[in-house]
Chains A and B, each alone.
Chain A
Amino acid sequence: MTVLTTEEVMDSTVTDIKKEASIRLAHQKKSLWKTIARNEIRIRTSSFRNHRMLFFIALYSLLIIWAVVIAPYLFDLFMPTLAEQFSDVFKPVIAITIESIMMMLFLVLVIYPLNNIYKEEEIGSKEILLATPVRANDIFLGEFLGKAPMYSVAILIITPIIVGLINPIINLTVFQYLIIYGIVFGHVYFANLIGSIVGSWIEHKISKNEKARDLGKALVWVFTILLVVIMYAIMFFLNYLLEHPELKNWLAFYPSLWFSNIILYSIDPVLINTFILNIWINVLLAVGIPIITLYLSYRKAESFYTLEGGVEKSSITIIEHENPFYKLVRKISGRKWGGLIVIQLKRFFRKKANIARVAYVVGLLGFMSWFISRMVEDEAMIVFSSTILIAIGGGIGSIIVGHLAFIDSKDLIWVYKRSPRGIKAIVYSYLLMMLIFNIFLTIFVTTMLTIFSDIDLFNTVIFFVEFLIFAEISMCQAMGLQCISPAFGEKDSSMKGNTMISMLLLQPLMFLPISLLIFINPGSVELMRVVIQAPLFLYNIGVSLPLLYFGMKKLNRLE
């Protein structure tokens, strides 16, 4: 240890320091948000820390080449032909495509900053920041603007696509180019702003205790899934939306629509005729709301950049006489499994985050059944739409709640492994617990379907059985996946990974019914049911059961 330099380092007297500090404070001209913003950029480009300049020059050159040369060329290859071929529906299709792109972009950008909340590191560094003279509003502005280079990348990637879509319809003038770029710019930054505000707010207002943190985590995660679901929904119902553009009005206050409507208006004013807000209100909202939001959040930054609402542990004592439901479960499932299932149920439902997830599944499925029921017009449609509901709905539950078997800890596995019943006990009891869950879910979905469409009893029963079986098979798939890569302690990476793989595996299911109908034209409704459902079930079984088998083998070898 070099003691020598201590004297030098600490060599200043009290009065000197004070005088010097006051002078510095008095002469501060530099706004600290610039420092914060630069730091933000440094953090995000740390992999290139030795060649940051070069990195940015290369990145932006590439993006500009994409925007000016590659994208226009690519779109010129096929867009004019498409425009000619489908000239009658071309405009509305383009309109809806642009709308969905911007909707998705908005969601992604709002959710992205949320992924960073609840990281201990971030809370700790906030404390260091708050101890320095920097003001909260400078931190807020700096962190917001520091993301600018990253968000500019999104703008430069997306906008040429939108331009490429529009170009065959009208030859854009320079002014229109500017408007489109400006709108995407405003849209992206507004989304970023909302994301930052919501993130900070959740972190500092809702994070008072562990339970809330749990809930917050689930929320973020649920948003991510919502994104994917909306994407699928739009893909599926593109046609439907084309015929009923007024459905969009349900989303009048979804901000991305204000922005996309301006673009649509510049293509053809007719396109937003059915929308309840006219162009001027759209412009007003698109310009005014972001500015007001930015101003208010800058002024109010103090209130969400604090440590006042830090982390606090809470404990809950549950003293309960086992409720009748658990007693019933015990009775029905018998000596061998009853106890284990009840334990799984308690473990699952005492976690607030899981309840949020379940509520989310129920809400989503309720919405889907309502939406799909509206399409039911004849026998064939009943089969077709109930198949889609089975394929998507049956899978969604497993994606959202199927991956939570091992999240408590690795120790749980040892407990079961040591016991004579082995690993099977935990896997099967979770699956049985999920079966109970699925039964309730299926009852709910079936009820929704019967309420909103005039499906007959025969089809109702068939739907019930099929939905339940499908949901449980999907559960096996989720179980198999997490046996292979268990998410102990809610390990972020493996939970996200498993969910992604689950969704990928379910992906073909969404397209199977549709594509089969394109190639095969079954004579009767019953034949149609077999044709589109048999492959669906066979595929799901073929994927899920082997996964479960190998997963359990792997889990048995866990060390």
Chain B
Amino acid sequence: MSKAYAIKTQNLTKNFGELLAVNKIDLTIPYGKTYGLLGPNGAGKTTTVRMLNAIISKTSGNASVGGYDIVAESQKVKMICGFLPEAPGLYSKLTAKEFLEFIGELYYLQKSVISARIDELIELFNLEGRENDLLEGYSRGMKQKVCLCAALIQDPEIIFLDEPTSNLDPAAARMVKDLISQLVKKAEKTIFICTHLLDTAEELCDIIGIIIDGEIKVEGTPKEIIESVGARDLEEAYLKITGASHIDDLLGWREENPNNNHNESKKNKNKKNKRSR
């Protein structure tokens, strides 16, 4: 498979028994880009990143990450990827430092390299002074920071982030987004973000793929996606694409009847509310 792309998949498919979780996904993501996999809950995002990180097996299709095949060279894939799980479970009875040391050792890093790395990351993520506290006492946002540190400990080439901001309060989400955009600034890192949050995707990603029921429906830059469905913003585009069957009708009906102000204003009000939140 091609080495020119950071992530490349062909017809990647995953079945859980009868359930088709991911259906023939084709991705081609160049190095240095930030890719956002956007979709509602249960669309198959987590399943996709788990497959790409060789955590679960694929049912059919092909995929390579960093030029390595996810099945035949799964060890190598894991070596060059960092992964932030959706609901990471930290060992609450470890300190942040112990936890990061542990993860570092699992990547075959040398002791000296690990401790240097930990010092850097702890400083970068503003965790100084807390690194020797047990993780059970950490807040959600701080735990997420520690998990991000763990995902970065071996200085990965490709970073997968599964719902990095979904379970956080707005302030912590802001902070995590800032951290991610810092990572993005360094052009060599390829970042793959799964999210169901539009703002996260719009803010951080170069390319967005919208996934519904295990299939990628649209792919492109945010601007391209908005234009392709003739929407005004990403939110409208997303609603159009995800709810294609009924919301399409709804929106279509609205456009055809511009006189019906009652509904129009209601819709806009909803939107405004959403944004101001």
Contacts and interface: CB of A to CB of B under 8 A. Distances in A.
A22 B76 contact: yes
Contacts of A10: 155, 183, 186, 188-189
Interface in A1-57: 1-3, 5-10, 12-14, 17-18, 21-22, 24-25, 27-28, 30, 32, 35, 39, 42-44, 46, 49
Contact of A132 (B31, B106, B185): B106
Interface residues of B, number: 55
B32 to A, nearest CB: 8
A24 B126 contact: no
A134 interface: yes
A122 B75 contact: no
Interface stretch (B77-85, B202-210, B237-245, B265-273): B77-85
Interface stretch (A123-131, A407-415, A427-435, A503-511): A123-131
A14 B188 contact: yes
Contacts of A3: 182
Nearest to B83: A131
A18 B66 contact: yes
Interface stretch (B51-59, B218-226, B247-255): B51-59
Contact of A2 (B55, B57, B78, B124): B124
A124 B85 contact: yes
A46 B107 contact: no
A9 B124 contact: yes
B68 to A, nearest CB: 9
Q: Which of B81, B109, B121, B182 has the most CB of A within 10 A?
A: B182
Q: Which of A28, A30, A42, A128 has the most CB of B within 10 A?
A: A128
Interface stretch (B93-101, B193-201, B256-264): B93-101
Given A124-B87, A127-B89, A17 B94 contact: no
Contacts, number: 140
Contact of B155 (A7, A17, A22, A126): A17
B107 A127 contact: no
Contacts of B103: 128, 132
A43 B89 CA distance: 14
A129 B94 CA distance: 15
A46 B106 CA distance: 20
B121 A121 contact: no
Contacts of A24: 79, 107-109
Nearest to B136: A46
Contacts of A120: 87, 89
A5 B123 contact: yes
B26 interface: no
A471 B78 CA distance: 58
B91 A125 contact: yes
A42 B179 CA distance: 30
Interface in B148-197: 150, 152, 154-157, 175, 178-179, 182-183, 185-186, 188-189
A25 B89 contact: no
B79 A1 contact: no
Q: Which of B80, B120, B178, B179 has the most CB of A within 10 A?
A: B80
Interface residues of A, number: 48
A52 to B, nearest CB: 11
Given A1-B126, A28-B108, A121-B92, A127 B55 contact: yes
A17 B108 contact: no
A39 to B, nearest CB: 5
A39 B189 contact: no
A35 B106 contact: yes
Contacts of A27: 108
Contacts of A132: 78, 103, 106-107
B76 A25 contact: yes
A121 B89 contact: yes
A124 B182 CA distance: 26
A18 B77 CA distance: 10
B129 interface: no
Nearest to B103: A132
A312 B18 CA distance: 13
21 contacts: A5-B123, A9-B120, A14-B31, A21-B157, A24-B107, A25-B108, A42-B93, A43-B94, A46-B94, A46-B134, A121-B89, A125-B90, A127-B85, A128-B83, A128-B150, A132-B103, A132-B107, A133-B75, A133-B79, A133-B108, A307-B55
Given A3-B182, A25-B75, A121-B91, 20 more contacts: A2-B123, A6-B124, A8-B120, A9-B124, A10-B189, A17-B80, A18-B80, A32-B105, A35-B102, A42-B98, A43-B91, A46-B94, A120-B89, A123-B89, A124-B88, A126-B89, A127-B85, A129-B106, A131-B53, A312-B16
